[in-house]
Amino acid sequence: MDQPKAAAKITGQEHWTKKGDVRLFLWEKRAAGAQAPRGTVLFVHGSSMGSQPTFDLQVPGRPHSSAMDTFAGLGFDTWCMDMEGYGRSDKKRDINCDIANGADDLAAGTAYIMKTRGTKQFLAYGISSGALRAALFAQRHPERVKRLALDAFVWTGEGSPTLVERRRKLPEFQAKNRRPIDRAFVRSIFNRDHPGCAEDRVIEAFADHILKLDDSVPTGTYVDMCTKLPVVDPAKIAVPTLIMRGQFDGIAGFDDLTEFFKRLPNPDKQFAVMAGISHASFHQINYLMVYHILHAFFTQPDPIYRG
């Protein structure tokens, strides 16, 4: 991966759109004056935090800590958005904001970006339940997705120790639309699979940013991942796809992912195992390796000969 241009000034701009009467927050970062020659990246967050802590985390002394700044410096227009019920987006409806609802949010968000920036297609990256949202969005709207990267993805849930533990609290999640989060919970994300994959200072900065925006999050993605999998059909995901699996990730069962991978119909597909990574890959010690894998996929030339 090329290093971002040090001289490029990265600017951030907030945007708002609506899904019906629900206000949705979007955040854009790009190099000042750039025309985004590399394309438009849409980052999709997971179950337990909003988008800016995940993709625009600033940690002093950690070079390229913000994925959005990094990819903006490499020539992309970068966007993230808070799903309904998270961060700065509306939390007024009495619903649990499940995966299908998140795919609806992505439809509304991409429609806004297409209108505002003239974007034709997106380079979509989703992590954990964000990968499920992004995959379902790509299944519904393949014409809007140029390339799809699924990190910490789960298909049927087979071989996922994290989901085995989560199902023990399923009645609690089903009984209410939101669940509380605190600093101890954020730390548990990094300790449940393989402690030591992330620096303490990064975990604490991540927690600081998350908890400034939310003290609770919707239960819908947890309920779906415990009771409704699979929620996407690999045979209906026609776009070029990258599966990213952390070596120690407790969500993404390896055999489950390889079976999903086999069924993807587009021959332009890749499967990457990320050494020394558990969950929340952008916040791990090996995060630059994650960026490299993603950047290589997003900048890969389309095949000329297809047989």
- Mapped to the 3 state alphabet, what secondary structure does the chain carry? CCCCCCCCCEEEEEEEEEECCEEEEEEEEEECCCCCCCCEEEEECCCCCCHHHHHCCCCCCCCCCCHHHHHHHCCCEEEEECCCCCCCCCCCCCCCCCHHHHHHHHHHHHHHHHHHHCCCCEEEEEECHHHHHHHHHHHHCHHHEEEEEEECCCCCCCCCHHHHHHHCCHHHHHCCCEEECCHHHHHHHHHCCCCCCCCHHHHHHHHHHHHHHCCEEECHHHHHHHHCCCCCCHHHCCCCEEEEEECCCCCCCHHHHHHHHHHCCCCCEEEEEECCCCCCHHHCCCHHHHHHHHHHHHCCCCCCCCC
pLDDT at 33: 73
pLDDT at 70: 97
CB neighbours of 7 closer than 8 A, spacing ≥ 6? none
Which regions in the chain score pLDDT beneath 70? 2-7, 34-36
pLDDT at 42: 98
CATH number at residue 177: 3.40.50.1820
pLDDT at 120: 96
Tokens of 199: 């620096």
207 belongs to a structural domain: yes
pLDDT at 34: 60
109 belongs to a structural domain: yes
Tokens of 292: 């490299």
Q: What is the pTM of this model?
A: 0.97
In terms of residue numbers, what domain contains 160? 10-298
69 belongs to a structural domain: yes
pLDDT at 3: 64
Closest CA to 219 of 165, 178, 166: 178
CA atoms within a 13 Å half-sphere pointing along the CA-CB vector of 279: 29
Q: Give me the number of domains the chain comprises.
A: 1
* Distance from C-alpha of 295 to C-alpha of 258, rounded to nearest angstrom: 22
Tokens of 45: 């967050």
256 belongs to a structural domain: yes
151 belongs to a structural domain: yes
pLDDT at 223: 98
2 belongs to a structural domain: no
pLDDT at 1: 72
* Distance from C-alpha of 224 to C-alpha of 143, rounded to nearest angstrom: 26
169 belongs to a structural domain: yes
* Distance from C-alpha of 122 to C-alpha of 38, rounded to nearest angstrom: 11
* Distance from C-alpha of 252 to C-alpha of 265, rounded to nearest angstrom: 21
170 belongs to a structural domain: yes
